[in-house]
């Protein structure tokens, strides 16, 4: 038996500037798997492409992972600092005969057009059919020692290609897609080491996964087709391939790859928009994975407990923002209020509305008020937009609310009477406010709702708010009376 059966997994982003939601989901799956199994998560930055290797780009990813709550046990490691290992592995494969030197000029990127001319495709009688032409190996593969030496003498740059067997099959195990088998004849002689001495992804990923003793590779399904090449490298290096688990891709609403056109694609933008990390995790976890029953709202510990590769789907999923927002409402509303206080505090600070007393002497008030507001919130920003008046006297009267509830010209008079009645209350609580308000409405000969709605606009500036008398209690007697008087003055000045 192996010394340790604890899995080792890794998340290996390339530093393209920010953490994409697809990458975030991959990171989360790795994290959930590691936590569930009591294994180890390693963070590795795949930055072999020197052009795009900028430290600040890595930073954005680390910040986003931290926000997401995905932490790692080892790393971050940087491939850009491990070049010697890859070169040594390439030379080893070359020396063993599993690879060969290639002196061809690098083919320019064709721009994705692989279609052959029509007549050529239809000409199937030809001995050199289209297929044979497509997979024609680089001529260097079969060059004689003399020819090779000549090329070398010319001083041509040398790349190392993998000498893919012409026959047979390559197999591997995928925890999501099942046992896989591909014809070696369908695999081209891919480059391991560029003529610049920089390894390709195919090589570096395998060398690192061997070196880091990775047991399960959980990554996007876009890597599924290239996996046989990597398995070939494992064998050439005398290593046992790990278990693969390819997770389906996340697409935009039009079923194409998620891009800016579909709205925000970076995790950071969701953080900025006022989503809670736990809501984001819950949502992401269920994109391409399910428990098997119909569980949806699962807090992170439950996600960890229930996560399993066997529940991962094979179909691409579409990123549905509406559902994400629903998850956010759940996490804004269901957990004990203490849990969301820090997030609301941060939001208030961002808006310049935070007062230190709310974190100390008035903490109970703050908690009660947040609890009062949160049933109607979808995003953290709601606390500083429509609920702004709970935290500052500096607010305006919403135009729509005015038109809806301040139409009647008797409103100003009624609000004035209410201000007086409320100011005279010896006790300030829900029922007292309720009784006083209804008494004023009755005296004025209007339905209670008319006064209540008008009052709401006066004290919070909006048509939308928590139940009025609870709101009054939260705001305090002095403030409510002052705001009513201010509203009267506003109405009379028109």
Partner RNA sequence: GGCGCUAUGGUGCAACGGUUAGCACGCGGCCCUUUCAAGGCUGAAAUACGGGUUCGAUUCCCGUUAGCGCUACCA
Applying CB under 7 A, among 88, 116, 136, 489 the residue interacting with RNA is: 116
Known catalytic membership, residue 323: no
- Which residues ranging from 369 to 398 are in contact with RNA (CB under 7 A)? 375-376
User: How many residues sit in the footprint of RNA (CB under 7 A)?
Assistant: 84
Q: DSSP letters along 371-428, please?
A: HHHGGG-SSGGGGTTTTGGGT-S-----HHHHHHHS-STTHHHHHHHHHHHHHT-SS-
- Which residues ranging from 135 to 164 are in contact with RNA (CB under 7 A)? 157, 159
Q: In the bound complex, what is the minimum distance in angstroms from residue 472's beta carbon to RNA? A: 9
CB 93 within 8 A of CB 163: no
CB 97 within 8 A of CB 55: no
**Residue 166 binds to RNA (criterion: CB under 7 A):** no
CA distance 102 to 78: 28
| Per-residue CA distances from 437 to 91, 172, 249, 397, 452 (Å) | 86, 74, 57, 21, 8
Applying CB under 7 A, among 170, 265, 329, 384 the residue interacting with RNA is: 329
* Cα distance from N-terminal residue to C-terminal residue, the chain: 86
**Residue 168 binds to RNA (criterion: CB under 7 A):** no
CA 15 from chain center: how many Å? 15
Applying CB under 7 A, among 18, 78, 190, 234 the residue interacting with RNA is: 190
**Residue 292 binds to RNA (criterion: CB under 7 A):** yes
Which one of 131, 260, 350, 407 is the catalytic residue? 260
**Residue 202 binds to RNA (criterion: CB under 7 A):** yes
Cβ neighbours around 140 below 10 Å, total: 18
Q: DSSP letters along 260-304, please?
A: GGGS--BHHHHHHHT--HHHHHHHHHTSSB--SS------HHHHH
Applying CB under 7 A, among 68, 286, 422, 474 the residue interacting with RNA is: 286
Q: In the bound complex, what is the minimum distance in angstroms from residue 206's beta carbon to RNA? A: 12
- Phi, psi (degrees; rounded to nearest 5) at 337: -60, -30
- Which residues ranging from 49 to 88 are in contact with RNA (CB under 7 A)? 49
CA distance 381 to 353: 12
The region of 1-9, 281-289, 347-355, 390-398 touching RNA under the rule CB under 7 A is 281-289
Applying CB under 7 A, among 115, 167, 240, 361 the residue interacting with RNA is: 115
> Angle, to 10 degrees, between the axis of helix 448-460 and the axis of helix 477-492?
100
Applying CB under 7 A, among 54, 134, 166, 410 the residue interacting with RNA is: 134
Applying CB under 7 A, among 84, 119, 293, 409 the residue interacting with RNA is: 293
**Residue 130 binds to RNA (criterion: CB under 7 A):** yes
**Residue 226 binds to RNA (criterion: CB under 7 A):** yes
The region of 33-41, 64-72, 221-229, 359-367 touching RNA under the rule CB under 7 A is 221-229
- Which residues ranging from 305 to 324 are in contact with RNA (CB under 7 A)? 311, 313-318, 320, 322-323
**Residue 333 binds to RNA (criterion: CB under 7 A):** yes
CA 409 from chain center: how many Å? 52
For RNA, the closer CB: 173 or 296: 296
- Which residues ranging from 432 to 451 are in contact with RNA (CB under 7 A)? 434, 448-449
**Residue 452 binds to RNA (criterion: CB under 7 A):** yes
Pattern 464-483, RNA, x by CB under 7 A:
xxxxxx--------------
Applying CB under 7 A, among 7, 9, 14, 366 the residue interacting with RNA is: 14
**Residue 251 binds to RNA (criterion: CB under 7 A):** yes
For RNA, the closer CB: 50 or 346: 50
Look at phi and psi of residue 155 and say left if phi exceeds 0, alpha if psi is from -120 to 50, else beta.
left
**Residue 201 binds to RNA (criterion: CB under 7 A):** yes
CA distance 242 to 239: 9
Joined together, the tokens standing for residue 223 give 């890597």
| Residues with active-site annotation | 260
């Amino acid at each position: 038996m192996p010394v340790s059966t604890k899995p080792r997994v890794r998340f290996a982003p390339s530093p393209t500037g920010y953490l994409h939601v697809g990458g975030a989901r991959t990171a989360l799956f790795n994290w959930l798997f590691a936590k569930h199994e009591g294994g180890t998560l390693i963070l590795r930055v795949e930055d072999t492409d020197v052009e795009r290797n900028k430290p600040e780009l890595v930073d954005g990813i680390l910040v986003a992972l931290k926000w997401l709550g995905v932490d790692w046990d080892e790393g971050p490691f940087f491939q850009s600092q491990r070049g010697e290992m890859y070169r040594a592995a390439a030379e080893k494969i070359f020396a063993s005969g599993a690879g060969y030197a290639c002196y061809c000029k690098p083919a320019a990127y064709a721009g994705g057009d692989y279609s052959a001319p029509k007549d050529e495709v239809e000409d199937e009688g030809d001995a050199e059919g289209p297929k044979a032409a497509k997979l024609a190996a680089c001529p260097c593969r079969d060059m004689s020692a003399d020819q090779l030496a000549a090329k070398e003498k010319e001083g041509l740059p040398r790349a190392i290609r993998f000498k893919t067997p012409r026959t047979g099959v390559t197999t591997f195990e995928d925890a999501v897609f099942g046992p896989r088998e591909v014809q070696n004849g369908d695999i081209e002689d891919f480059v391991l080491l560029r003529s610049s001495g920089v390894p390709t992804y195919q090589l570096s990923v395998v060398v690192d996964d061997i070196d880091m003793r990775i047991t399960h590779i959980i990554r996007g399904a876009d890597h599924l087709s290239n996996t046989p090449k990597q398995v070939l490298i494992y064998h050439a290096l005398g290593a046992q391939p790990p278990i693969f688990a390819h997770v389906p891709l996340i697409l935009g609403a039009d079923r194409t790859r998620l891009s800016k056109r579909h709205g925000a694609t970076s995790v950071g933008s969701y953080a900025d928009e006022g989503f809670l990390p736990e809501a984001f995790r819950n949502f992401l976890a269920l994109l391409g994975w399910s428990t098997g029953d119909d569980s949806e709202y699962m807090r992170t510990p439950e996600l960890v407990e229930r996560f399993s590769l066997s529940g991962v789907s094979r179909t691409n999923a579409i990123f549905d923002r509406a559902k994400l927002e629903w998850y956010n409402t759940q996490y804004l509303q269901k957990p004990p209020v203490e849990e969301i206080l820090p997030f609301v505090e941060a939001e208030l600070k961002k808006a310049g509305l935070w007062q230190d007393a709310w974190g100390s002497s008035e903490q109970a008030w703050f908690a009660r008020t947040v609890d009062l507001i949160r049933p109607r919130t979808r995003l953290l920003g709601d606390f500083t937009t429509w609920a702004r008046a709970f935290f500052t006297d500096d607010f305006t009267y919403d135009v729509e609310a005015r038109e809806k509830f301040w139409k009647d010209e008797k409103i100003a008079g009624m609000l004035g009477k209410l201000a007086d009645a409320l100011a005279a209350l010896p006790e300030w609580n829900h029922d007292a406010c309720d009784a006083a308000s209804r008494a004023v409405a009755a005296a004025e000969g209007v339905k209670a709702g008319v006064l209540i709605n008008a009052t709401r606009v006066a004290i919070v500036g909006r048509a939308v708010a928590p139940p009025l008398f609870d709101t009054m209690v939260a705001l305090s007697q002095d403030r409510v009376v002052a705001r009513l008087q201010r509203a009267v003055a506003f109405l009379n000045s028109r």
